[in-house]
Amino acid sequence: MSMFSAVRRPSTRLVATLLMIGGVASFTLVDTFSKTLTDRHAPVVVMFMQYGLAAVMMLPVALGRGAAGFRILGPRLLVLRALIGVVVSFLIVTSLSLLPFTVAATLLQLETLFFIPLAIVLLKERADWRRWFAVGLGLSGALLILRPGTETFQVAGLVAVAAAIALALKNVVLKQVAMSEATVPALFWMYVLMAGIAAVPAWFSWSGMSGGDFGLFVVSAALVNASNYCMLRAFSMADAVQLTPALHTALPMAVLIGLVVFGEWPTPIVWAGIALIFLATFMPSGPGKTE
């Protein structure tokens, strides 16, 4: 046995976890660019540009693989993922335009809590009492941030919560896509479908674009590709429940970006809500099981 063959390779689960963390980091940076771009462009325009450019970037990669770069085995599932993706993207971008970045990103983190009941129903996974306790704790934190009866609760905050629910559903479907499709054609056709759906409303909302903003769209589209590629690869290598802790890393990233990039310092009651959601997402839980 050679010295090199004795070197222990990282486990598949570890690689999948690192890929998911990379995907989450890229997704959080996409939100950062989206928050900046919605100051000058309608949410549907932001969504169209990000996914249209992502499709253009993925095209030469697909062409390099020949027919295999475009072959889809389950088009219905991919169309469903694209439709959900359009709803998710619109809700996320809209919530970012209505709320401070830190508040919006924290409420979007409720995705990991809504994921549990969806995983039980759609992926046939089980959850112990600690996971359900985390759901209750996280929702309590959301209520502190939303404060029922205020304008935030009535409009902007509910958009962010709806985005979190849709995001959880999107990741469940993404897991199913990852198990049945090759990564490159799945990403290419998903982007084409999402950009196509957004094209008409984006046309009517178009208000011109500077060269600087176009550059921001190019960077954010590259991050969209990085995020979805890492997540698809991660979901194809490990169970969804095993990857949930990696999804939780979005919260500290978002809070840090809110403070450093946008100079946002939440009020004490919002900090309390963030703390509860933080505890809920990082509290230990038993391993998930699949029937």
pLDDT per residue, tens digit, the chain (291 aa), is: 444 444 455 568 788 888 988 998 998 999 999 989 988 999 999 999 999 999 999 999 999 999 999 998 888 888 888 888 889 888 988 888 888 888 888 788 778 777 767 766 766 656 566 666 766 777 777 777 766 555 545 677 888 889 988 988 888 888 788 888 888 999 999 999 999 999 999 999 998 899 999 999 999 999 999 999 998 888 888 777 667 667 767 777 887 888 888 887 777 877 787 787 777 666 655 544 443
The pTM for the full model equals: 0.77
Say which amino acid occupies 49.
M
CB 138 within 8 A of CB 110: yes
DSSP string, 243-256: HHHHHTTHHHHHHH
| Run of H or E including 57 | helix 43-63
